Chain A
Amino acid sequence: MSAFTQLRLDGVSRRFGGQAALTELDLTIEAGEFIALLGPSGCGKSTALNCLAGLLPLTEGSIWQDERRIDTLPPERRGFGMVFQSYALFPHLTVRANIAFGLRMRRLPKEETRRRTEEAVRLVRLEDHVDKLPGQLSGGQQQRVAIARAVVFEPSLVLMDEPLSNLDAKLRLEMRTEIRRLHQSLGLTTVYVTHDQEEALSLADRLVVLREGRVQQIGSPRDLHTRPANWHVADFMGYRNLWRGRVQQSDGDRAIVESSGHRLLGEVVGDLQPRADAVVAVRPEDIRVDQPGETRNAMSATVEVVEYQGRELAAEARTDTGLLLHLRTEQRIAPGDQVKLAVDPQRLLVYPADAARETDRLPEAAGTTR
């Protein structure tokens, strides 16, 4: 299957019964890109991947490989490699035969099949295990076989469906680097599905955040990290402090929001109406603790819970007005300590609140936190 310069998803939708799993996904993938589809479980990311692979027919929309429409092709004629969450290694075939499977299906000359299989085996460092059956391998090794099998025939696109979710924490970090290394050395266009924002941020060139089957934001890791498009994305991207509040004053770029008796100055993201309900989002690491001279968005609070996390501490603190904050700091603090907290207004994001039902779970006006 020939390489492409662009893969275009045009209004791709998928319904199961009456239930919409994916709604109008528009996405253009450039050759060589590493795209992560990110979202909580049930957000439609795996549905999108299966539609792309041809394992699931679309309900609406089309997929174009340059000027060729491919969403009507069966999976075996799309020529995309796929790594499954369960690896899906053929249990009756040796590691070598598993990896060579895609080449055999393409009826390549024996010599070439052998050479390219050996190359792929070396790439994932499984030289000592080629004659074993998948059942005799560890999880990490099985994962590497699955990756080698999916890339050995040089597919125009590699699809990965939460490939690291069955591995333990240490192995997951190793394999993450491995996948990034493979992507860099082979230049394979990759679409990677995950629910782990850290994994997505570290691997991808571009992230697509999905929620309830709809795209929330498409952007670089930096965009998503520093400026999530709405508070749901912020929630997912690690903005653990989400507080409800009311806009006091706004000039469109900056706003002052009242939340739990605090007047907070921050950057506006989205379309914010004056005196409207708002959601304030702050990353735990953006809350500064006991910095002398820091007066912007200052709050005094009492430390409640402290977790040791190596260089840093993760802590929960409650302000005098009852607002609960999650923070990370290198300061040595202990439960019961009185601390002065502050947030740089550039790192305090103000979002318009959507349907009231959605924001109900967030801490709100004074006294009724949690």
Chain B
Amino acid sequence: MSGPGRPLAHWQHRLAERGIDSQLWLLVPALVFVVALFLYPFFYGLTLSFQPTNGGPFSDYARFFSDSYERGTIWITLRIALPAALLNVLAAVPIAYRMRGRFRGKRLVTTLLVVPITLGTVLTAQGLLNFLGPTGWFNRILLASNLVDEPVRLTHNYWGVFFSLVITGFPFAFLLVLSYLSGIDPTLERAAATLGADWRRRFTRITLPLLMPGLATTFCLTFVLAFSVFPSAVLVGNPAGETRVISLAAYQAAYEQYDYPYASAIAMIMGFVELVIIAVVLAARSRFYTGSTGGKG
């Protein structure tokens, strides 16, 4: 670099004052990533959805909502994703609560709880089919112990998809809740104990209120994961009927009917529904205390 002349140094310093300096170049990879992989496809899809093969700009949206078979996919997806996300969060709380301290074997237990995250949907689906299918271990035990007369149907329907979402979503929720919990200063509960609160009230009055914002965030993330369910809806669900989720409708529009504008419209609707749910949860979250909770996290 040539020696900077006086005017040059001047504007460089002025920019640096405002936080603009050569370090900003470090942001470039991230920016490229966001623009190329998120912003461009999103706006491409958005504009595409307003250019239907037939009719005016909104006719694909109108088509989706006028067809009850298509419209119903929203409800079908919500019916799977909301309870699955809720169960994941609620099941993670007591387990994480018991595990927030330090104890021997904590790492082992955590690993066991988190392993399903590494399995992937297909392996999970395969396992579910083997275990919960009509001739799987679960039904064989039920039959052998005379609890049921005929195999319980737990795969290729709503429950298959639901279980799959719980298995893959729980570790995720558990890790998040555990880190939120360890961010709460344990002295607070000790203080509550000396003030006369038994463990139930320590949990409901102190820990839970402080944990609620974290639970809301965890719920949003697991919900988004569950709402975009696709492989398990096909593999362990009933993709023609009760588990014809919205992503399946978009897939069919795009790759069976080759109607990209319509598929884009469905994708936009899907995103909008997710945003509505997240907005509701975050609005509820803001009613709780969201400041420092004094812990190490």
- B198, closest chain A residue (CB): A76
Answer whether residue A278 sits at the interface, using C-beta atoms and an 8 A cutoff: no
Is B37 an interface position by the 8 A CB rule? no
Least CB distance, A328 to chain B, in whole angstroms:
40
Partner of A76, one of B194, B291, B294: B194
Given the interface contacts A92-B288, A135-B292, does A101 sit within 8 Å of B210 by beta carbon?
A: no
C-alpha spacing A153/B291, complex, angstroms: 28
Chain A residues within 8 Å of B195, by CB: 76, 81, 101-102, 105, 149-150, 153
Given the complex, which residues of B lie within 8 Å of A82, measured CB to CB?
Answer: 191, 194
- Bound complex: CA of A159 vs CA of B195, how far in Å? 12
Q: Among the listed B193, B201, B205, B292, which residue makes an inter-chain contact with A55, where contact means beta carbons less than 8 Å apart? A: B193
Residue pair B185, A86 in contact (C-beta under 8 Å) = yes
Cβ of B153 under 8 Å from chain A: no
CA distance A84 to B195 in the complex (A): 12
C-alpha spacing A200/B291, complex, angstroms: 36
From A74, which residue of chain B is reached at the shortest CB distance? B193
In the complex, per-residue mask of A79-94: 1 if CB is within 8 Å of any chain B CB, else 0? 1111010101111100
B188 CB contacts on chain A under 8 angstroms: 88, 90-91
Whether A88 contacts B193 by the Cβ 8 Å rule is: no
In the complex, residue of chain A having the shortest beta-carbon distance to the beta carbon of B186: A88
- Complex Cα distance A77/B197, Å? 9
Complex Cα–Cα for A106 and B293 (A): 25
Interface centre among A86, A101, A106, A133 (most CB of B within 10 A): A101
Distance in Å: Cβ of A55 to nearest Cβ of chain B? 5
Q: Does B278 contact A (CB under 8 A)?
A: no
Chain A residues with CB under 8 Å of B97's CB are none
With A88-B185, A91-B292 known as contacts, the answer to whether A102 contacts B196 (CB < 8 A) is yes
Complex Cα distance, B289 from A82, in Å, reads 24
A101–B191 alpha-carbon span in the complex (Å): 10
**Interface residue total, chain A, C-beta cutoff 8 A:** 29
Asked whether A75 lies within 8 Å of B193 as measured between CB atoms, the reply is yes
Find the B residue at minimum CB distance from A85.
B187
Complex Cα gap A86–B190 (Å): 12
B190 to chain A, nearest CB (A): 5
Are B194 and A101 interface neighbours, CB within 8 A?
A: no
**Contact pattern, A 54-66, Cβ under 8 Å of B = 1, otherwise 0:** 1100000000000
Cβ-defined contact, B209 with A79, below 8 A: no
A53 interface residue (CB < 8 Å to B):
yes
Chain B residues near A149 (CB, 8 Å)? 195
Least CB distance from B192 to A in Å reads 7
What residues of A have a CB within 8 angstroms of the CB of B206 in the complex?
90
CA separation between A102 and B206, bound complex, in Å?
Answer: 13
Closest to B213 in A: A92
Query: Chain B 149-186, CB within 8 Å of chain A: the 1/0 string?
Result: 00000000000000000000000000000000000010
B222 to chain A, nearest CB (A): 24
CA gap between A92 and B191 in the complex, in Å: 14
CA distance in complex: A101, B201 (Å): 11
Chain A hits for B292, CB < 8 A? 91, 135
Could you tell me if A86 and B194 are in contact, using CB atoms closer than 8 angstroms?
Answer: no
Residues of A within 8 A of B288 (CB): 92
A55 contacts across to B, CB distance below 8 A: 190, 193-194
In the assembled complex, the Cα of A135 lies from the Cα of B199 at a distance in Å of 25
* Residue among A74, A78, A90 with max Cβ neighbours from chain B (10 Å): A90
Asked whether, in the complex, the Cβ of B289 is within 8 Å of the Cβ of A133, the reply is yes
In the bound complex, CA of A78 to CA of B196 (Å): 8
Task: Tell me the smallest distance from the CB of B24 to a CB of chain A, in Å.
Answer: 33
Taking CB atoms, residues of chain B closer than 8 Å to A74 are 193, 198
- CA distance in complex: A356, B37 (Å): 73
Contact A92-B209, Cβ < 8 Å, known A86-B185, A133-B291? yes
Task: Name the contact of B194 in the complex, choosing from A81, A90, A92, A133 (C-beta under 8 A).
Answer: A81
Q: Mark B280-297, 1 if CB is under 8 A from A, else 0.
A: 000000001101111000
Given known pairs A74-B193, A75-B193, A75-B194, the reply for A91 and B201 (CB within 8 Å) is: no
Chain A nearest CB: distance from B124 CB in Å?
A: 38
Give the Cβ gap from B211 to chain A, nearest Cβ, in Å: 10
- Closest Cβ of chain B to A146, distance in Å, is 8
Chain A residue, CB-CB nearest to B294: A91
Q: Which 7 A-B pairs have the closest CB atoms?
A: A92-B289, A105-B196, A88-B191, A102-B195, A75-B193, A82-B194, A88-B187
Q: Which residues of A contact B (CB under 8 A)?
A: 53-55, 74-82, 84, 86, 88-92, 101-102, 105-106, 133, 135, 149-150, 153, 159
4 additional A-B pairs beyond A81-B194, A92-B209, A105-B192, beta carbons within 8 Å, are: A81-B195, A86-B187, A88-B188, A102-B195
